[in-house]
Structure 1
Amino acid sequence: MADVRTHARDAKGSRALLITLTSVAVAFTLASAMSTALLMHRDWDTDRWHGTFQQLVHVGRELSVATWFASALWLLLAFFAFTAGVLAHSKRGYWYAFGAIAAFASMDETATIHEKFYAAGSAIAQYLPFDVFSYRWVIVGVIIAIVVALALLPFVLSLPRPVTIGVIAGGAVFLAGAIGLETVGGHLEDVYGDRSWQLHAIMHVEEFFEYMGVAIAIYALSGMIRLVRRNGSRSLVFTGYRDDVERANLAAGAERLHLDGTTQENASPSIDEDASTPNESPRV
């Protein structure tokens, strides 16, 4: 019963974390969208007050509070991955690799390392049978995403089913924004310019997708770590991989069946042998 209560508290804490991260993501996206819309009705170059505020909260600018939040999301994901690696009984290398990738992504949010791949992407684009990437660095991003996905897929599939679903869903949402909507944004910039409402609208949707993709992955990984009270102290416990969880569920089910059988035996009415034997008169 104590394990059930602990699991319920941990699940509630993970949901509260997801709600908090989603609320902050919505707040930054709305603040950025409204400030950008207001600035579009003014002079971008002379309205310094609105321009400064817009730069401070804009989701598409590297040196903004919104970008700091995106970087912090990746750091939080790295924290959960590294913590799971320390607590796990096996496959620690995968956890450390997962955490390193998340830490690099956090650095990339502010340092914009991915945009340095433009030259490499342009070189690769010459050999492609199609040309749909206005931002050439996206080509390199697609290759990196495929390599990382293939390398980590066996590990992700070994996690408990809800965690596997959460990590894959989070990755899909993030890539839909970072690659899919980014590509759409590149075409809109070519057609309408970098100050068009079309570009900024898709840019905000793209960044929100990226926020939520990482937040969903954080929610999933947070379920792998449980805070347990033992002998008056608290400690972090790794919940185990899919095989561990399935074995634990089978053992718990067998134990419940055993306890139910024992209870039924104890509850059965006892038979009084003397009462069941008919009274016979003594023969003379």
Structure 2
Amino acid sequence: MKRGHKITPDKPPRTSPISAYWREGNIPTVDTRRIGSPGGRIWSFLVLWLVAGVLVLLFYVSLRIGRDSELEIWFRQFVDLNGEGNLPAWYSSALWLIGAYHCQQAGRLTKKLGARHQQLGWFVVAAGCILLSLDEAASLHETIGSLIDRHAGNPDGYAPVYTWVKVAAIAVLVALTALLPFLVSLPRSTALGLMAAGAIFLAGAMGMETLGSLVEFGSLGSWPLDLNWNRAFVIEEFLEMSGVILLSATVRHHMSSLPTRKT
């Protein structure tokens, strides 16, 4: 820069909306108890992963017991990773609600920092988390797939992939396209964390389901890599839970990195 050169008011330096708002001194006061300390955040998410591991262990225990009594039958149904309306389904649904809470908190904080386009993105992600929580509780994806199959005159579904997987793939592409500007506007670490969380979740939710449908419809003669249905259920559910936990961890880390006055 030449000596004496000044930046004129009509040519301000290029900054992000949040950085510009921050440099003007508009740093909001935020109750940091809602965000927590770094150590506390790490431990809280490790506990969530630990609970997911305990659910996997309980599922394996249920496979080792018999079905000679009503109590044994109830226990197997209660911890079945492939079941509905039981403990794993409730926990998965709760994880999505936790993710929705963190996303709406990020949206509110982003609003205070003056980036309204990011606020809308966070609220859209929060709404998606609520919808997926409802799906875990009520198994909406399978219901929608069955309705489509019956309406099309094929109640047994279409080989080689479940109908709901095809519908979900289209929904994922639409959502990703719509959220792309939002992801680009985020810090790189946050965007990569959200994409990694989504990839892990989809690997379980759609990847393992696609593999299972190929086996069920006969496109694959048997499970690859010495898998079976029970092991596939474990991998699927643990990947789904891990993806949602990583989502919440990423959002919490993002909020802690924003410029705020701590109380």
| Same fold per superposition (TM over 0.5) | yes
Determine whether 1:217 maps to 2:239.
no
Determine whether 1:109 maps to 2:119.
no
Determine whether 1:132 maps to 2:160.
yes
C-alpha displacement at 1:131, in angstroms? 4.4
Q: Report what 2:206 is aligned to.
A: 179
SS in 1 for 2:37: helix
Q: Report what 2:72 is aligned to.
A: 50
Q: Which runs of 4+ in 1 moved over 4 A?
A: 121-124, 189-192, 227-230
Question: Counterpart of 1:120 in structure 2: which amino acid?
Answer: I
Gaps (5+ residues) in structure 2?
1-31, 222-226
C-alpha displacement at 1:189, in angstroms? 4.2
Q: Report what 1:75 is aligned to.
A: 97
Question: Counterpart of 1:83 in structure 2: which amino acid?
Answer: Q
Question: Counterpart of 2:252 in structure 1: which amino acid?
Answer: S
C-alpha displacement at 1:123, in angstroms? 7.5
User: Partners in 1 of 2:120 and 2:149 — Cα distance?
Assistant: 30
SS in 2 for 1:226: helix
In 1, are the aligned partners of 2:59 and 2:76 still within 8 Å (CA)? yes
How do 1:167-246 residues align onto structure 2 when only pairs under 5 Å count?
A: 167-190=194-217, 198-226=228-256, 230=262, 234=263
Q: Report what 1:263 is aligned to.
A: none
User: Partners in 2 of 1:34 and 1:188 — Cα distance?
Assistant: 25
Q: Report what 1:100 is aligned to.
A: 127
User: Partners in 1 of 2:188 and 2:250 — Cα distance?
Assistant: 10
User: Partners in 2 of 1:150 and 1:34 — Cα distance?
Assistant: 42
User: Partners in 2 of 1:131 and 1:94 — Cα distance?
Assistant: 36
In 1, are the aligned partners of 2:160 and 2:217 still within 8 Å (CA)? no
Deviations 1:153-188 (A, max 9, x none): 221222222211111001000001100101222334
Question: Counterpart of 1:76 in structure 2: which amino acid?
Answer: I
Gaps (5+ residues) in structure 1?
1-5, 235-284
C-alpha displacement at 1:56, in angstroms? 1.2
Give the root-mean-square deviation of aligned CA atoms. Answer: 2.7
Q: Report what 1:38 is aligned to.
A: 64
In 1, are the aligned partners of 2:159 and 2:217 still within 8 Å (CA)? no
User: Partners in 2 of 1:18 and 1:26 — Cα distance?
Assistant: 13
SS in 2 for 1:63: coil
Determine whether 1:13 maps to 2:40.
yes
Same amino acid, percent of matched pairs:
31
| Residues paired across the two proteins, number | 211
Which entry has the higher C-alpha Rg, 1 or 2?
1
Deviations 1:81-127 (A, max 9, x none): 11111121222211111110100100110111111222436889x9x
State the TM-score, normalizing by the size of structure 1.
Answer: 0.67
Question: Counterpart of 1:206 in structure 2: which amino acid?
Answer: E
In 2, are the aligned partners of 1:185 and 1:203 still within 8 Å (CA)? no
Indicate the larger mover: 212-221 or 197-206: 197-206
Q: Report what 1:59 is aligned to.
A: 81
Q: Report what 2:191 is aligned to.
A: 164
User: Partners in 2 of 1:56 and 1:229 — Cα distance?
Assistant: 46
In 2, are the aligned partners of 1:121 and 1:139 still within 8 Å (CA)? no
